[in-house]
Structure 1
Amino acid sequence: MAIVDDKYSVLMSVYYKEKPEYLQQSIESILNQTVPTDDFVLVCDGPLIPELDSVIENYSTLHVVRLKKNGGLGNALNEGMKYCQHELIARMDSDDISRADRCEKELKVFADHPDVDIVSGTIEEFITSPDEVYSRRVLPEANDEIVQFAKKRNPFNHPAVMYRKSAVEAAGGYKDFYLLEDYFLWIRMILKGSQGYNIPEPVLWMRAGSELYGRRGGWKYIESEKKLFSYMLNKGYISKNEYYQAVTSRAVGAMAPNWVREMLYKKVLRK
């Protein structure tokens, strides 16, 4: 799969709670892509611990943007996007691991489908090692299916996304939206006519575990989901029946004990 003259930026945010060894693995996975980037923007979302700074200092090619205080993922990504030099931006989380050909595959989609604004792909979830994958999040491939899927669940795997900077900015960028900044962005982009595509093959290993599922529970998360689906309803993207079905099913999951929610994600919402 040969790609010529494709340029893209990488956008990553890190904050003080991240583990240095995870950050290093994540950075290395991007620097070792089969089609490498020449523009890696790393946003430090507030002051970091010395161990994280030591990792960052080992990479002279990073464009490091330091924010004075922690403002959350959406704010950090909006700030970092201002420094991205290229139209195509590959998102990367500071604790995940990209497969070596991830960006090459995503660039090929953009080359073959110039009408597409968002590309993601299948992610494989692990706890201790990417050699021990316990689940996959596989999403609809074609745009029509993505639009329908988005009425119930997040249609893209955010840690594996590559998107057009101009389309993200046209939709207003990331907004402050508790744990759903990306989902809210995708909906606004879809409503503006953006098209998406999900690569069926795995493109990234995502670090998961009980903490991940724990964040997806409680009243604050329920209120955030209700707010998101209310937005979809008010925009005419979903019907009242679809709204009630989505809010009810997600509230049940969010109020369940963490071990039940973890089992639900593994057995029902994953493959």
Structure 2
Amino acid sequence: MTGAPATFSLLLPVYHGDDAAHLRRAFRSATLDQVLPPDEVVLVQDGPVGPALGAVVDEIESGPVPTTVVRLPRNVGLALALQAGLAACSHEIVARTDADDVCLPDRFARQVPLVAGGYDIVGSAIQEFVSEDEPGIVRVPPLTTEQITEGARFHSPFNHPTVVFRRSAVSRAGGYQDLPLLEDYWLFTRMLAGGARGLNLREPLLLYRVGAGAYARRGGVRLLRSEIELQRRMRRIGFTTTAQWARNVVVRGGYRLVPEKIRVLLYRGLLTDRAR
């Protein structure tokens, strides 16, 4: 890429369940520690937060990194919080990260030029971790646009906290829409169905925190309901065939109901296959 780097916004949601120390670390890793730092940060506070987390939000707002804090009066969930944040972003290119993950220093220097060069959405692999000196499994998503589109018919094709996208491409797809715990997958599906060009980098550019309950959250009746609704929507827009819909309801739906220990084994087996 020649000339000046493209300008971009960083979109970061926060809610009452986040940890204050994790937020401070996540924010620094995505701003001051970056080779190519964002031109602005839009931090969305999704409803009231406790004193410790609120103090870090205030610290960020008054700090050296240009930051707009969008304070929502009540917790509306991730999809609607991100939509509110997108409306406050000043730039066409928007990078996502979460309040408990750690961006590696060259993340945006690797991804932003690719979006500026023509891709609509660029993600990367992630490396799970409990503490930063104990790295865990690497999750490698499908890489090319063709692999991403084909893979999306069975599993989410991007690691959501790693994506950098064109705001206009997200808007054309209808933006983030409420679908608890699967709002990102539904957005990616609509973007790809509309012809968006996607790419994933094989190298992990983000450390993804997996604390207690990480695998428990991948199951349960609430997520099963969202899974069934996701599959209904994907079939409705013609992204999946009837056979793929039936497979997904049985396999992905069944995965939500198996005991957590079995879910961990199945999940890690799926990751191994995708990495190959």
Normalised by the length of structure 1, the TM-score is 0.94
Deviations 1:20-40 (A, max 9, x none): 111011001011110011210
Q: 1:64 aligns with which of 65, 69, 72?
A: 69
- Amino acid paired to 1:101: D
Residues 265/2 of structure 1: CA separation in 2 closer, same or farther (3 Å cut): farther
Displacement of 1:251 in angstroms is 2.1
Distance 1:208 1:156 in 2: 17
Distance 2:103 2:159 in 1: 12
Deviations 1:116-152 (A, max 9, x none): 211100000112x133122111011110111000000
Residue 119 (str. 1) matches residue 98 (str. 2): no
Residues 249/201 of structure 1: CA separation in 2 closer, same or farther (3 Å cut): same
Contact 2:6/2:113, CA 8 A, preserved across alignment: no
CA RMSD of aligned residues (A): 1.5
**Partner in structure 2 of residue 228 of structure 1:** 230
**Partner in structure 1 of residue 79 of structure 2:** 74
**Partner in structure 1 of residue 241 of structure 2:** 239
Summarize the alignment of residues 7-86 of structure 1 with structure 2, pairs less than 5 Å apart: 7-31=7-31, 32-59=33-60, 60=62, 61-86=66-91
Q: 1:96 aligns with which of 88, 95, 101?
A: 101
Unaligned 5+ runs, structure 2? none
Displacement of 1:87 in angstroms is 0.4
Contact 2:115/2:165, CA 8 A, preserved across alignment: no
The answer to which of 179-188 and 208-217 deviates more is 208-217
The answer to which of 67-76 and 57-66 deviates more is 57-66
Q: Secondary structure at the match of 1:66?
A: strand
Q: Secondary structure at the match of 1:12?
A: strand
Contact 2:93/2:115, CA 8 A, preserved across alignment: no
Residues 268/51 of structure 1: CA separation in 2 closer, same or farther (3 Å cut): same
Q: 1:219 aligns with which of 207, 221, 226?
A: 221
Distance 2:233 2:94 in 1: 27
Unaligned 5+ runs, structure 1? none
Normalised by the length of structure 2, the TM-score is 0.93
Q: Secondary structure at the match of 2:56?
A: helix
**Partner in structure 2 of residue 199 of structure 1:** 201
Displacement of 1:220 in angstroms is 2.0
Displacement of 1:2 in angstroms is 7.9
Q: Secondary structure at the match of 2:263?
A: helix
The answer to which of 92-101 and 57-66 deviates more is 57-66
- Amino acid paired to 1:96: D
